[in-house]
């Protein structure tokens, strides 16, 4: 290849690299469409969040009965904490990069409580199961993939 052609192709490659860097990289690996699907499904369950939370805890404790003793106080209080966590997850969709330090702190607090990566995986399974039961057909394949991607991100930041 002539020198001029090599230089031209190198310049084009550099330009491509610069352009790639200019595109904001999403920490969660979620596309805008996936965020929309998560928000939409959350809005659908929000009116019944207390019931959804109770179903989630029943499933969580069935999957891993040893987790029950980590939670103190009545289920209503836990349900309220669950709602706070769910809202935090929704807020994080809009500020995902800025919220990583907060999630890391929350992860450190969970580590003190003895919560490890495998517990996050169990929790993710229980939550996806609960959403599947609560949303029925509107919890389609794409929505499920989006939730799994978000939960994998939470697990990585909080337990990593
Ligand atoms: C998506 C990841 C999670 C988020 C966003 C989240 C969020 C929260 C929040 C906001 C609190 C209240 C914080 C506080 O009281 O200081 C909390 C407490 C707690 N979380 Fe999580 N959490 C997550 C994952 C988990 C997992 C995987 C487990 C265990 C299976 C777990 C178990 C607990 C326990 C035991 C408490 C304390 C409850 C108590 O005080 O009785 N969390 N979580």
What average pLDDT values come out for the chain (160 residues) when binned by 10 residues? 54 47 57 94 93 92 93 81 85 79 92 95 97 96 96 92
Q: How far from each other are the two terminal CA atoms of the chain, in whole angstroms? A: 47
Pocket test for ligand 1, best of 66, 95, 100, 106 (most atoms within 8 A of CB): 106
Nearest alpha carbon, ligand 1 atom 30: 119
In short, whether 67's Cβ falls inside 6 Å of ligand 1 is yes
**Cβ partners under 8 Å of residue 45, min gap 6:** 52, 131, 134, 135
What pLDDT shows up at residue 1?
Answer: 52
What pLDDT shows up at residue 137?
Answer: 93
Nearest alpha carbon, ligand 1 atom 38: 71
Q: Round to whole Å and give the CA distance between 109 and 103.
A: 10
What pLDDT shows up at residue 9?
Answer: 52
Burial of 3 (0-12, 13-18, 19+ CB in 10 A): exposed
CATH for 33-159 (1.10.490.10, 3.40.50.300, 1.10.3720.10, 3.40.50.12280): 1.10.490.10
Nearest alpha carbon, ligand 1 atom 2: 154
What's this model's pTM, rounded to 2 decimal places?
Answer: 0.83
The helix-helix angle for 117-135 and 49-63 (nearest 10°) equals 130
> How many Å lie between the centroid of ligand 1 and the Cα of residue 5?
58
Q: Round to whole Å and give the CA distance between 68 and 119.
A: 12
Closest ligand 1 atom to 64 CA = 30
Q: Round to whole Å and give the CA distance between 40 and 31.
A: 14
What pLDDT shows up at residue 3?
Answer: 55
The structural domains of the chain, with segments of one domain joined by +, span: 33-159
Closest ligand 1 atom to 77 CA = 41
In short, whether 109's Cβ falls inside 6 Å of ligand 1 is yes
What pLDDT shows up at residue 150?
Answer: 92
Pocket test for ligand 1, best of 56, 71, 110 (most atoms within 8 A of CB): 110
């Amino acid at each position: 290849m002539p020198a001029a052609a090599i230089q031209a192709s190198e310049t084009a490659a550099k330009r491509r690299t610069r352009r790639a860097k200019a595109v904001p990289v999403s920490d969660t690996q979620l596309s805008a469409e996936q965020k929309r699907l998560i928000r939409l499904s959350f809005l659908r369950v929000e009116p019944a969040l207390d019931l959804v939370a109770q179903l989630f805890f029943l499933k969580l404790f069935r999957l891993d009965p040893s987790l029950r003793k980590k939670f103190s106080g009545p289920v209503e209080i836990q349900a309220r904490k669950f709602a706070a966590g769910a809202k935090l997850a929704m807020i994080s969709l809009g500020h995902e990069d800025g919220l990583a330090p907060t999630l890391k702190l929350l992860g450190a607090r969970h580590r003190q409580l003895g919560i490890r990566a495998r517990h996050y995986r169990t929790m993710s399974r229980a939550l996806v199961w609960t959403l599947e039961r609560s949303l029925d057909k509107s919890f389609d394949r794409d929505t499920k993939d989006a939730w799994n991607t978000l939960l994998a991100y939470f697990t990585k930041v909080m337990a990593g």
